[in-house]
Amino acid sequence: MFIDEAKIRVKAGDGGNGCMAFRREKFVPRGGPSGGDGGRGGDIVMESSERHNTLVHFRFNPEYKAERGRHGEGSQRTGRDGESVVLKVPVGTIVYDEATGERVFDFSRPDERMVIARGGRGGRGNAQFKTSTHQAPRECEPGRPGEERVLRLELKLLADVGLVGYPNVGKSTLISRISAARPKIADYPFTTLEPNLGVVAVGEEPETISFVVADIPGLIEGAHTGAGLGTQFLRHVERTRLLVHLVDVSDGSGRPDPVNDFEVIMNELASFGAGLETKPMIVVGSKIDAANKEKLAKLKRFCKSKKHPYELYAISAVTGEGIDELKWAMAQKIEDLRQAPQPEPNRPEGFPGERNAV
């Protein structure tokens, strides 16, 4: 089950209360106030992990609470700190504060850690209040409460290449042909209901180029407003380096104008508002084993007429025609894009979130 959204409630541990105590034993020197401090409450920590690829474990267990600190005791014994809770999230998870909508953190690399709710500080015992003029204090502090937050988790797949296009244009067949991924394939629209990932390797060792391809479920007109669950699918394209736009040029597609199909999808990418239309793109005319020559020729003319012409590859994922050329083109583009400088994601101050007193 692929789950890419979840809402959770986290509660860091409360601090332990300070203790009020006095030592009055006979023959015991330095008697007087001896109340110890309370222990600190446990934190809620998030850590990105490559072993997880979905948020399903949060969907069915949405509440997490860290251990509270132990109360202070007599003889100036400090209470034990509470145990922290570590939550594992997939790489590509973005954490939002549900109350304010603020982005808390963006886990873009493995093994990143962030304290998302800090435990409460332990209260001071009465031994801390002793002075030369106040030798029998009866003051002690309660522990501070730990932070409590409602968080919204959103997963955006980390892939090098995103396959986009209308439903049933051959995206799933293509990813099954170039990688070991085995998505469901059928001859009706919206067969793919969740993104599929596949690893593609091109070339021989030691110069093999490998990259991750994401098969994004089909988009339709109005996808940026949620039509056909478009908003759920489009966000997975945000982190890809390269888009491969498949256009059906076969006779049996039911859509006579491939240029209009291309422009509709491009409008949806632009309307989503994340700069998707500006990403590097390769155009693919699919299903050429049953191609309409006029449709393919029209698409070629359109790609060449642009100010910055699109690379166009005609393929048949069924017969394998043009597949190798497309794989090499994707690999070369990915290598060029990997060598280009990439902007760092925004980090909150104090990353990775050391423990500070609340």
Is there a contact between 18 and 69 (Cβ–Cβ < 8 Å)? no
The residue extents of the domains of the chain are 5-155, 161-339
pTM over 0.75: no
Topology classification of domain 5-155? Spo0b-associated Gtp-binding Protein; Chain: A, (2.70.210)
Distances (CA, A) of 201 to 86, 176, 180: 35, 13, 10
Instruction: Return the CATH number of the domain spanning residue range 161-339.
Output: 3.40.50.300
Task: Read off the pLDDT of each residue in 163-177 and give the average, rounded to a whole number.
Answer: 83
Q: What is the pLDDT of residues 56-103, one digit of tens each?
A: 888 888 999 999 999 999 888 999 999 999 999 988 888 999 988 888
Smallest CA-to-CA distance from 213 within 233, 227, 202, 199 is with 199
pLDDT tens-digit profile of 308-337? 888 888 888 888 888 888 889 888 888 888
Task: State how far the Cα of 243 lies from the Cα of 265, in Å rounded to an integer.
Answer: 12
Q: What share of the chain is helix, strand, coil (3-state, %, to 5)?
A: 25, 25, 50
Strand spans (E) along 98-241: 103-106, 113-117, 148-155, 161-165, 196-202, 209-215
Stronger pLDDT, 348 or 174, i.e. the higher one: 174
Least Cα distance to 119 among 97, 147, 150 occurs for: 147
pLDDT interval class at 344 (50, 70, 90): low
Phi-psi region of 103 (alpha: psi -120 to 50; beta: other; left: phi over 0): beta
User: What single DSSP character describes residue 97?
Assistant: E
